[in-house]
Amino acid sequence: MKNNPSARFQVSRRTFLAGAGGAAALVTAAGCGDDAKSTTTTTAPTATALTDTDILTEGQRKKPKLEPDDVARAVLYALQQPPSVDVNEILVRPTGQVL
């Protein structure tokens, strides 16, 4: 694992790939949002931190993490907005997470 002191992030192959995938999703959602501006379609890219799932390692289980319901509530927030509101992006992370 390499330390990037300028950004204060720990970068590994796994986190690099996850970040690249997340960036691709945001760009795709932004493009869809541009196409949907004349409609009532909602696009709200949602970025989540570590979420409690079956695939977590033992080390990950010891870190602050979200519950699946936490993510669901964030998505529902975006979906429940009236057509006059555009939720541009949602970032959800657990309290206590160190960047």
Q: What is the pLDDT of residues 21-78, one digit of tens each?
A: 666 766 776 676 666 566 666 667 677 778 888 888 898 889 999 999 999 999 899 8
Residue 14 is assigned to a structural domain of this protein: yes
Residue 97 pLDDT exceeds 70: yes
Nearest partner of 74 among 64, 84, 66, judged by Cα: 66
Residue 98 is assigned to a structural domain of this protein: no
> DSSP code of 62?
T
Residue 8 is assigned to a structural domain of this protein: yes
State the total domains in the chain: 1
Residue 71 is assigned to a structural domain of this protein: yes
Residue 99 pLDDT exceeds 50: yes
Q: What is the pLDDT of residue 86?
A: 80
Give the domain range for residue 24.
2-92
Contact (CB, 8 A) for 81 and 47 = no
Q: What is the pLDDT of residue 1?
A: 44
Q: What is the pLDDT of residue 67?
A: 92
Residue 97 is assigned to a structural domain of this protein: no
Vertex 74 angle, CA 25 and 29, to 5°: 20
Nearest partner of 87 among 49, 42, 30, judged by Cα: 42
Residue 27 is assigned to a structural domain of this protein: yes
Q: What is the pLDDT of residue 36?
A: 59
